[in-house]
Amino acid sequence: MSGRIPLADMARLSEAVQSGAEEIDVHLNFGIDEQGAKTLKGSADARVSVVCQRCLQPTQLSLHADIALAVVWTEEQAQHLSKDLEPWILDEGPADLYVAVEEELLLALPMVAYHEEQCVDPAVLSVGEVVPDTQESDNPFKVLEQLKGSPK
């Protein structure tokens, strides 16, 4: 199954980015693996705008999420999945594919985003020349040394 999901339909992702493409490209394949687990594999791609943490200006970011989920209903079932599948634990009621795709895209967001090129002048970040402190500071334990006296 292939299609596009409006970014506006993904509230948490919309809040995490400044703006983005109107739609997210999604490609999903449903199947059953060798262990009998119901699987959801595919990818999701979007181009979004996030705040650069160096200059605090918008920067464009291409998001790509590889999706490899297995539908399970309990933690015990999740423990028996193959290592290449992440559990998608469902509660009672229908499964929401938008939520699954949104979760994967949120995980694909970098913790810190910034422009690929240098966006801040290095001179602005410079603190100048560092001069070592040559003045000897008072040792707070010097008083204890005087109280201790000479060894017996």
pLDDT by residue, tens only, the chain of 152 residues: 898 988 888 889 988 888 766 789 999 999 998 888 889 999 999 998 888 888 888 888 899 999 999 988 888 888 888 888 898 888 777 888 888 999 999 999 998 888 877 776 666 666 677 777 777 777 777 777 777 766 65
pTM here?
0.70
3-state secondary structure of 33: coil
CB-based burial label for 69 (10 Å; 0-12, 13-18, 19+): buried
3-state secondary structure of 1: coil
Contact between residue 65 and residue 44 where contact means Cβ atoms under 8 Å apart: yes
Return the closest-CA partner of residue 48 out of 96, 8, 99.
8
Token pair, residue 27, equals 């490609």
